[in-house]
Chains A and B, each alone.
Chain A
Amino acid sequence: MLKTYKFPKFEYRPSPEQSGAVPNRHAVVVVGAGPIGLTAALEFASRGISAVVLDDNDTVSVGSRALAYAKRSLEVWDRLGCADRVVEKGVSWKVGKVFFRNELRYQFDLLPETDHKMPAMINLQQYYLEESLIEEIGRQPLVDVRWKHKVVGLKQANDHVVLSVETPDGEFSLTADWVVACDGANSDVREMVGAKFSGQAFQDRFLIADVVMKAGFPPERWFWFDPPFHRNQSALLHRQASDVWRIDFQLGQDADPDEERKPERVIPRIRAMLGDEHNFELEWVSIYQFACRRIDDFRYGRVLFAGDSAHQVSPFGGRGANTGVQDIDNLGWKLRLIIDGEAPIGLIDSYNEERGVAADDNLLNSTRSTDFITPKSATSRRYRDAVLELAANNEFARPLLNSGRLSRPTPYVNSSLNTPDEDVFDSRLAPGTNCEDAPIRRNAEEAWLLNQLGNGFVVLTFGVSPDLETIAHGLVKASILVVGRDIEDCRGILCARYDGRPGTTYLIRPDQYVAARWRQFDADNIRKALARAIRCCRG
């Protein structure tokens, strides 16, 4: 029982297909209704694909777990129609402070750049996030969430998968053209397909506590190395919604998890941190150890892995849930084109290619932060302390200080779907990078660029109006958006971010990533780049 939150209970409802009375082949079955499975269901629905979601439980995440959601995830949820609620409920923040012993050593601002629709980061308990996603799903006739449905078996055929599902009414089987496995770090589906999940496990134990308190601290991320209230270890304080605060304590390798989770151990630790003047109540306590590991391939035949089932990272940097959302962002449009026969099935292999690179990047960042925060030898600890001491008065040492590198989307720099630059640009939006938002005007109203991109490919071109409405390769169409005709760059921010000059043209994928860019609008080049972006070799 939490003090500020009552867990909803979602009803188990038997479906007619359980009795074998109706045919039961589905285009997509999503396993797991965590944040990633729920996002997947909304993603498929937004692209006109119906999805069945199976979850072995009947409520949201127990405990707050993931807490920090980054701008890119919010942009994805905005495309799916539910970012407003998440942002409104969450706590926006962008300043992080790092303390060494009891002195402030460094301070960072995540998004000094303004003029983005979405904030840099918001903090929100995972159960609130899941609730918002479930609420949105309630408005989507294409999504069918089935609680108390546990996947217990899986058989792959050439063009489909048969799942065995256990329910309170017994077992039944269900056929899917594609299965998206979002069943978390201990994924049963991963086991069933025989995938490898390897990497590094860390020995240090951490205490995570959510406490309820009315406190006047600003909404910032505070990280301590070796604080006076918790010598030789690290600590973290974050604000969440409803006056709930997240506190993390590093406990070291020898901590006894059963002892450490007892309130009589936890409360004095928190009191030492906050001081006697703050009254708080414990909301949720967990002791955990983490691992950094990934699956060997995101695709096994017709089964695709996303979220924690595909990769697990340390919590420093809030990468867990954020990177899972980006898996889905990458997967949705590809699967849509394949299901509708508009792209060859080979396009799906670019999912592993692109998200595999992102997983490696996340693991690397997360492992590096972990090595900084929990040094493994006396010497590496000395280097760490040297950085922390120097950081106070030496600007050069601050970039070396690593209290977690916060989640940012990994660009697909070398993706085979990109058409490499031939022209020179003064903009970081190279092929493989996600588009930056910018304020614009459309029909004389204030609006945002990302909201204009819709669900398909877009050709964004500056200044010159081509006499074309769309550009197509086979059945795949890219709509044309002209800056100066369809949208107005009222403040010059769009042109600055995209280095937009008359003729500058971007081909943008349905996940809002740049596929190609040129200094001239050339329909032939665009068609070729479009073919490449959907793996159609006859370009």
Chain B
Amino acid sequence: MDLLTKPNIADPDGFYQELIDSQRDMTEEAAELMNCKLVLILANHVGDRGVLREAISRARGSSTED
């Protein structure tokens, strides 16, 4: 399986708002902890080490853009 890089989220604006809203009343500290939890939860959902590796390297900025 390859990392999906084409748009895959239905209602992108709605999702983005939901993400931001979820942290609106949090301190910076709490929001950062939540981000870490979110990464771990999603990473477990993906599971596939190859996909995770690709995602990590893309997030680091070390892989080529589309």
Q: What's the least CB distance linking B35 to chain A, in Å? A: 8
Report yes or no: A382 in contact with B40, Cβ–Cβ below 8 A. Answer: no
Report yes or no: B33 in contact with A390, Cβ–Cβ below 8 A. Answer: no
Chain B, residue nearest A383 (CB): B36
Report yes or no: A390 in contact with B32, Cβ–Cβ below 8 A. Answer: no
Chain B, residue nearest A399 (CB): B44
A389 contact set on B, CB distance < 8 A: 33, 37
Q: How far is the CA of A379 from the CA of B41 in the complex (A)?
A: 17
Report yes or no: B40 in contact with A385, Cβ–Cβ below 8 A. Answer: no
Residues on A lying within 8 angstroms of B by beta carbon are 379, 382-383, 385-387, 389-390, 394, 396-397, 400
Q: How far is the CA of A387 from the CA of B33 in the complex (A)?
A: 10
Chain B, residue nearest A400 (CB): B40
Shortest 7 CB-CB contacts between residues of A and residues of B? A386-B36, A396-B44, A386-B37, A383-B36, A382-B36, A382-B33, A382-B32
Q: What's the least CB distance linking B42 to chain A, in Å? A: 11
Q: How far is the CA of A390 from the CA of B33 in the complex (A)?
A: 11
B: number of interface residues (CB 8 Å): 8
A379-B32, A383-B39 given; name 5 further pairs at CB < 8 Å. A382-B33, A383-B36, A386-B36, A387-B40, A390-B37
Of B40, B41, B44, which one neighbours A383 at CB under 8 angstroms?
A: B40
Residues on B lying within 8 angstroms of A by beta carbon are 32-33, 36-37, 39-41, 44
A397 contact set on B, CB distance < 8 A: 40, 44
Q: What's the least CB distance linking B54 to chain A, in Å? A: 19
A383 contact set on B, CB distance < 8 A: 36, 39-40
Report yes or no: A385 in contact with B33, Cβ–Cβ below 8 A. Answer: yes
Q: How far is the CA of A379 from the CA of B35 in the complex (A)?
A: 11
Chain B, residue nearest A385 (CB): B33
A396 contact set on B, CB distance < 8 A: 41, 44
B41 contact set on A, CB distance < 8 A: 390, 394, 396
The winner among B32, B36, B44 for most chain A CB atoms within 10 A is B36
B37 contact set on A, CB distance < 8 A: 386, 389-390
Q: What's the least CB distance linking A388 to chain B, in Å? A: 11
Q: How far is the CA of A364 from the CA of B39 in the complex (A)?
A: 24
B32 contact set on A, CB distance < 8 A: 379, 382
B39 contact set on A, CB distance < 8 A: 383, 386
Q: What's the least CB distance linking B31 to chain A, in Å? A: 11
B33 contact set on A, CB distance < 8 A: 382, 385-386, 389
Q: How far is the CA of A324 from the CA of B41 in the complex (A)?
A: 39
Q: How far is the CA of A379 from the CA of B36 in the complex (A)?
A: 9
Q: How far is the CA of A59 from the CA of B48 in the complex (A)?
A: 54
The winner among A386, A390, A400 for most chain B CB atoms within 10 A is A386
24 A-B residue pairs with Cβ-Cβ distance under 8 Å, sorted by A, are A379-B32, A379-B36, A382-B32, A382-B33, A382-B36, A383-B36, A383-B39, A383-B40, A385-B33, A385-B36, A386-B33, A386-B36, A386-B39, A386-B40, A387-B40, A389-B33, A390-B37, A390-B40, A394-B41, A396-B41, A396-B44, A397-B40, A397-B44, A400-B40
Q: What's the least CB distance linking B43 to chain A, in Å? A: 9
Q: How far is the CA of A379 from the CA of B39 in the complex (A)?
A: 13
B40 contact set on A, CB distance < 8 A: 383, 386-387, 390, 397, 400
Chain A, residue nearest B47 (CB): A396
Q: How far is the CA of A390 from the CA of B44 in the complex (A)?
A: 12
Q: What's the least CB distance linking A394 to chain B, in Å? A: 8
Chain B, residue nearest A387 (CB): B40
Q: How far is the CA of A390 from the CA of B36 in the complex (A)?
A: 10
Q: What's the least CB distance linking B26 to chain A, in Å? A: 13
A385 contact set on B, CB distance < 8 A: 33, 36
Q: How far is the CA of A379 from the CA of B28 in the complex (A)?
A: 13
Q: What's the least CB distance linking A289 to chain B, in Å? A: 28
Q: What's the least CB distance linking A312 to chain B, in Å? A: 30
Q: How far is the CA of A397 from the CA of B40 in the complex (A)?
A: 8
Q: How far is the CA of A397 from the CA of B36 in the complex (A)?
A: 12
